[in-house]
Structure 1
Amino acid sequence: MIRFVVSILAMLLISGSAIAKEDRYSLSGTMSQGGLVFGKAVAGSKVFFEGAEIRVSEAGEFLFGFGRDFKSTATLKIVFPDGEAVQRELKVAPRKYRIERVDGLPKAKVTPSEEFLKRIRQENAEIARIRAIDTPEKWFQSGWNWPAFGRISGVYGSQRVLNGIPKRPHFGIDVAAPTGTEVWASTDGMVRMAEKDLFYTGGTIMIDHGYGLVSVYSHLSKLDVKSGDFVKQGQKIGEIGSTGRSSGPHLDWRLNWFKERLDPGLLMGPMPKK
């Protein structure tokens, strides 16, 4: 009888400990490929995502995301200030992606010549450098708005076949609208790139929102900001165009968490009316 009571008490203590740990953190967001998740743990905690330590604010806030082809589970570990820890295997829901065909593009834009490969590598290196920035400011907390109004002509994750040649998946949302249509910053942040003529994306702006979140606005016909500018949500940053590798005027809007390419559409509701 005594052993039975001791066993029950031990089980209750273990259960109580687990409940206490669960009460010390929370997660919100989309647990699927392309999703962004926001977390909050008790102040002073350390957080590890897939084995790597990620930034946590003094108040215990953190975030992480899942790329287009992220595997079915992800490991999240939180070490609390008193040394206790909790580890979870997060289930990441899979998604189905559509195939899109785009024909009539200049051959040089589909299969770059050796002449352009050096330029492309240099541009990609700078883009990678910006995506690796881990800014401590929480500018992303200003929220998310659509950066332009128009028809959704391309969706996240779709596989594009250009002039009959399968290419890398599309990692953004395309908003089709006439050249000159205003483009606004979706979220507060620091402009890290403002280039008028990248090989693939033409007029391109990259905005750092903190904690590894970077949004990208491509194919712009006009840029109204420069690198180093701080922009507020809703501020005009440029105008829609068809620069770079593009078959018509549109905005290609993307969101990255370091190397993970996220779906900005999961943060938004339907495209609003003007």
Structure 2
Amino acid sequence: MTLASCTAVPTTQVSQRATSQERERAPAPKPAPAPEPSRPATFAFAGELTQGGWIKGTAPGGTQSLSLDGESIDVGENGGFFVAFDRDAKPVASLIATLRSGAKVVQRLTIAPRDWQIENVNIARRRSGPSEAFMALRRPELARIQAARALDTGAAGWRQDFIWPVTGRISGRFGSQRVYRGEPGSYHSGIDITSGVSGTPFVAPADGVVVLAAKKPFTLEGNLLMIDHGMGLNSAFLHCSEILVEEGERVRQGQTIGRIGSTGRATGPHLHWSMKWNEARLDPILLTGPMR
């Protein structure tokens, strides 16, 4: 009887082949997550520490929550934040970061006063309030404005260097005010840019989301357009002759969004641009720098 010959395969060789096959079937290892960028132990920020001004920067590493004079502030990716100071802000503000450890980092901010354009007039301030007929129209408009400002769209335009929406003659400055026989009237809440021609286009000063685009003129603002830039910062453009974007639309810095007009309570074609951060009113020129 003839025996068939066979060749024995070394155990180590079989083991090596199996290991190779297992490697081919095994999924590729996942890359290790990128480490969180290191952050400073204190606040890092820059901006305009003055009435109507602002700062933006980075909160200390490990920040769990942030507040300005007791008001809660959103903290963005990698600890980014934006805060601003009202036209009548007090001389000192406190920025407080509460860390995950429970410790607090306190940053004292000195807010410089501004020399506002004040006009003293020798007439009594009008005492008669708005009529009920007017308020019947005005209340729903104010509700829409308030609701638009409360929207959180996640926009990141607050991180950008703002640009002028249009160039022209500045005919009304932020913070200017009339005083009637010693009694202050309301101050001008934005900046007026006069083009002289109705229909002149204007652009978005920074990225954002349209939160209000009036389909018909408001009683005071006329055709009103509002854009959220994120972190509680928004722009309002008043007296437009035409609005070229829709509510919910994302706009880019430099994109044409409307045309200047004189709708609402206006004496001639101009763009009234006002800005708010939460309840604080800002001076737009402190975000753009002088017009060139």
* TM-score, normalization by structure 1: 0.82
Q: 2:268 aligns with which of 238, 248, 259?
A: 248
Corresponding residue number in structure 1 for 2:30: none
Assess, with a 3 A threshold, how the Cα gap between structure 1 residues 161 and 73 changes in structure 2: closer, same or farther. Answer: closer
Alpha-carbon deviation of 1:132? Answer: 2.5
Question: Which amino acid in 2 is paired with 1:183?
Answer: F
Question: Unaligned regions of 5+ residues in structure 2, if any?
Answer: 1-38
1:191 aligned to 201, 210, 222, which one? Answer: 210
Aligned equivalent of 2:118: 99
The structure in which a higher percent of residues are strand is: 1
CA–CA separation in structure 1 for the residues paired with 2:107 and 2:160 = 29
Counterpart of 1:149?
A: 167
Distance 1:116 1:133 in 2: 27
The answer (yes or no) to whether the contact 1:189–1:207 under 8 Å persists in 2 is yes
Residue 78 of structure 2 is aligned to residue 78 of structure 1? no
How far, CA to CA, are the matches of 2:252 and 2:161 in structure 1? 11
Count of residues paired in the alignment: 244
CA contact (8 A) 2:82 2:158 kept: no
For residue 247 of structure 1, report the CA deviation from its aligned partner: 1.1
The CA deviation at 1:181 is 0.9
- 1:64 Cα deviation from its structure 2 partner: 0.8
- Percent of residue pairs bearing the same amino acid type: 43
Q: Which amino acid aligns with 2:169?
A: R
- Whichever residue aligns with residue 103 of structure 2, its letter is E
Per-residue CA deviation, residues 179-206 of structure 1 (Å, 9 max, x unaligned), is 1111111111000001140111101100
Alpha-carbon shift at residue 115 of structure 1 (Å):
1.1
Letter in 2 for 1:239: R
1:270 alignment counterpart: 290
Q: Is the contact between residue 60 and residue 97 of structure 2 (CA under 8 Å) also seen in structure 1?
A: no
Letter in 1 for 2:158: F
Is 1:31 aligned with 2:49? Answer: yes
Q: Which contiguous aligned blocks of 4+ residues in structure 1 show a shift greater than 4 angstroms?
A: none
Secondary structure of 1:68's counterpart equals coil
Question: Aligned partners of 2:250 and 2:260: how far apart in 1?
Answer: 20
Contact (CA 8 Å) 1:189, 1:208: kept in 2 or not?
yes
Larger Rg: 2
Residue 230 (structure 1) aligns with: 250
Which range moves more in the overlay, 115-124 or 42-51? 42-51
In structure 1, stretches of 5+ residues that fail to align are 1-20
**Equivalent residues in 2 for 1:50-65, closer than 5 Å:** 50-65=69-84
| Offset, 1:101 | 9.3
Give the counterpart of 2:141 among 112, 123, 126.
Answer: 123
User: Residue type matched to 1:246 in 2?
Assistant: A
- State the superposition RMSD in angstroms: 2.5
Tell me which amino acid in the other structure corresponds to 1:129. A
Are the structure 2 counterparts of residues 161 and 183 from structure 1 closer, same or farther at C-alpha, using a change threshold of 3 Å? farther
**Residue 50 of structure 1, CA deviation:** 1.0
- Deviation, 1:166, is 6.6
Match of 1:200 in 2: 220
Once the 2 structures are TM-superposed, how far is the Cα of residue 167 of structure 1 from its aligned partner? Answer: 4.1
CA distance in 2, matches of 1:134, 1:169: 28
Report the secondary structure of 1:76's partner residue: strand
Residue 136 of structure 1 deviates from its aligned partner by 3.4
Shift of residue 42 of structure 1? Answer: 3.6
State the AA in 1 paired with 2:260.
I
CA displacement at 1:209 relative to structure 2: 0.6
Matched residue SS, 2:226: strand
Secondary structure of the structure 2 residue equivalent to 1:226? coil
Q: What does the per-residue CA deviation read over 1:12-70, in whole Å, with 9 as the maximum and x for residues that have no partner?
A: xxxxxxxxx97432121111110111020244412111112211013001111111111
Question: Would the alpha carbon gap of residues 243 and 137 (structure 1) be closer, same or farther in structure 2, given more than 3 Å must change?
Answer: closer
The answer for the alignment partner of 1:260 in structure 2 is 280
Question: In 2 relative to 1, CA 89–254 (structure 1 residues): closer, same or farther, beyond 3 Å?
Answer: same
Contact 1:42 1:59 in 2 (8 A): no
**TM-score, length-normalised on structure 2?**
0.77
Q: Do the aligned partners of 2:155 and 2:207 also contact (CA within 8 Å) in 1?
A: no
